[in-house]
Structure 1
Amino acid sequence: MTMTVVTPSHAPDFPSFARLHASVVRFTDPGVRHVVAVPDADIELFRSLKSARLDVRGYSAVLPRRFVSTTALARIPRLPRGFRIAAVNLRRPWPPIRGWMLQQVVKLAVVSELDTDVAVLIDSDVIVVRPLAERAFRNDDGVVRLYRQPHGIDEARERPLRWLRTARALVGAPQPEADGPDYISAFASWDPALVRACVERVAAQTRSDWRDVIGSRLDFSEFLLYGTYVMTLADPSRRQNVSADSLCHSHWDPVPLDRAAATRFADEIGPRDLAVHVQSNSGTGETIRDYISDRVSQVT
């Protein structure tokens, strides 16, 4: 049985990623690889970590050649992060592909190509704080764990509800009436075989390359797509390891943590949490993030 850690990242998140990778190396077995997928322009920066456990993959290695990078445009400073243009698909040039959307396509592509039993998806702004063993993500029957929060998305969460409707449409599942489950997490596990089946389903439903289809979407979540596929179309035996526990203690609030708040946050980590997550757009500084990492190591 094998496990691979996967992280999409880019240059602005490099300090956080370096901290994450150090924690992955510390808390996983020597045979576990950490795959990071980054824009081609950032490859050498991430390789500068010189880690034998790190596999740096550029976007061009996992995307078709018709996806042409527009990296310079993607980093126009005044554009909201989620709307910065990252690429143009020459087959479908409009709309151009936003950075956030391209990262999701890359994540699905990377995991679909893995020859491994479990892919553990960890965002750059996460720190692993306890040992990661494959048994935490697979049950005795070999079913990979799926994070699922029942009724986690309702009409009050308008944007995620659009993502959920898009996911259901792409795989041909019934649309939710008033609410639906949430599968989004900064720390999650996927079954690569099911990811392959999921994207093949999208291609069959749309009669198009799934990368073209997803890249052209304005409302989309890769987690909602995968979770929806598993729970509505996968073999029922692959749905027997579902939990509402993310195994990650998270700070999702966009307000930055100061030293006092960081102390409270670190001290509140649960006994089952394997990682801590401070949302990158919270504005929490690197010094505070280092402090949280040190503090959590004392608590755990």
Structure 2
Amino acid sequence: MPNDTPADGLDLLTCSMARDIEIFDVLARSVDRHVDPDIRHTVIVPAGDCAAFEKYASDRRRIVAQESVLPMRLFALPRRLSALSVLSGALRRPLYLTPRLSLVRGWMIQQILKIEFARRSPARAVMHVDSDVFFVRRLSARDAVDSQGRVRFFHVPGQQPIPAHRAWIEAAADCLGITVPADFATHYIENCVLWSGETTRAMVARIEAAHGRPYHEVLLRHGTISEYFIYGIYADLVAGNRGLAAETDSYCNSFWPETEGAPFDFKAQVARMTPKNCAMAVQSTHGFPVAERARSFEAATRMFSDAAT
């Protein structure tokens, strides 16, 4: 997985699949429009999906088979199982078997891919960008660091623990070999999440030292994990944010509907944009038509272009 990004640069990483290619199309056009061309965009997809994504390859964007990045071998189960996703959201993404015949969901594999890419990238920072994102303002490599050269780190300390996050917190604590207080309430989830390569490598070393085995084997022992919680808890509670600039404002203004049928209000979403927000996102599982997504991207682009002139 060669990468010629400068050591002080920024890489964008998107893990996707053919099922999401229509919303990815909007992301790709937005990256080409708003992200500085010296920022490389790597798109990792299952080998069987590479042909579908190849039309997006360019001097700044490469399409990479996940099998060439993963630190272990997997066996893909028949894709027709995805037809059962109406019964369980866990079946929406591909399913795999490990050589030991353990079942692994595609969602877990994407998290391993993010960690593996970030620890191997020569860039100072990697921004994980989901397929349901679209950029609406300029992003440069300089935006990844603060005035002291520290890589920005998104975390939001909360007043009350979120019950749904507890399983991720406990899994992260186990992977890192630490204990996390029961009232721990910080969260780290967003659609554009920036990681330091140095911090990622130290995190992996910590996991492997704590368990005496490859980090991916440790992570896959858990039924559910959050790569962002593992990185965030490592940064906050193990590394003490060394070399990082902790901030509560994200690069992305995201719409996560509270109910399945909640409508997306473009004007309300734009009104919540902060100066740091250079992207917007509408959750991929929301029934938001692709044409509306594309129109929202164009409308936001015009709106922020006009404001900048």
TM over 0.5, shorter chain? yes
SS at match of 1:4: strand
2:28–2:56 Cα contact (<8 Å) kept: no
Q: Distance in 2 between matches of 1:159 and 1:73?
A: 30
Q: In structure 1, what residue type is equivalent to 2:253?
A: H
1:244 maps to 248
Structure 2 residue corresponding to 1:87, chosen from 96, 113, 117:
96
Structure 2 residue corresponding to 1:294, chosen from 287, 291, 298:
298
RMSD of aligned alpha carbons: 2.1
2:3 maps to none
Residue-pair matches, total? 294
Structure 2 residue corresponding to 1:188, chosen from 182, 185, 193:
193
1:59 maps to 66
User: Which stretches in structure 2 are left out of the alignment for 5+ residues?
Assistant: 1-7, 305-309
Q: 2:219 aligned with 1:214, yes or no?
A: yes
Q: 2:280 aligned with 1:276, yes or no?
A: yes
State the Cα deviation string for residues 147-169 of structure 1 (Å, max 9, x = none): 00002761xx3231110111012
Q: 2:181 aligned with 1:176, yes or no?
A: yes
Is the alpha carbon distance of 1:50 and 1:35 closer, same or farther for their aligned partners in structure 2, counting shifts above 3 Å? closer
1:45 maps to 52
Q: Distance in 2 between matches of 1:106 and 1:71?
A: 21
Is the alpha carbon distance of 1:284 and 1:17 closer, same or farther for their aligned partners in structure 2, counting shifts above 3 Å? same
1:69–1:86 Cα contact (<8 Å) kept: yes
Q: In structure 2, what residue type is equivalent to 1:86?
A: L
1:183–1:224 Cα contact (<8 Å) kept: yes
2:250–2:276 Cα contact (<8 Å) kept: no
User: Which stretches in structure 1 are left out of the alignment for 5+ residues?
Assistant: none
2:228 maps to 223
1:266–1:295 Cα contact (<8 Å) kept: no
State the Cα deviation string for residues 237-281 of structure 1 (Å, max 9, x = none): 324x1111113211100545758x234334543333110010111
Q: Distance in 2 between matches of 1:196 and 1:74?
A: 35
Is the alpha carbon distance of 1:263 and 1:151 closer, same or farther for their aligned partners in structure 2, counting shifts above 3 Å? closer
Structure 1 residue corresponding to 2:21, chosen from 11, 14, 37:
14
1:153–1:161 Cα contact (<8 Å) kept: no
2:40 maps to 33
State the Cα deviation string for residues 186-206 of structure 1 (Å, max 9, x = none): 111101121111112111112
2:154–2:247 Cα contact (<8 Å) kept: yes
Q: In structure 1, what residue type is equivalent to 2:144?
A: F
Q: 2:171 aligned with 1:166, yes or no?
A: yes
2:9 maps to 2
TM-score scaled to structure 2, two decimals? 0.88
Q: Distance in 2 between matches of 1:248 and 1:152?
A: 22
Q: In structure 2, what residue type is equivalent to 1:179?
A: F
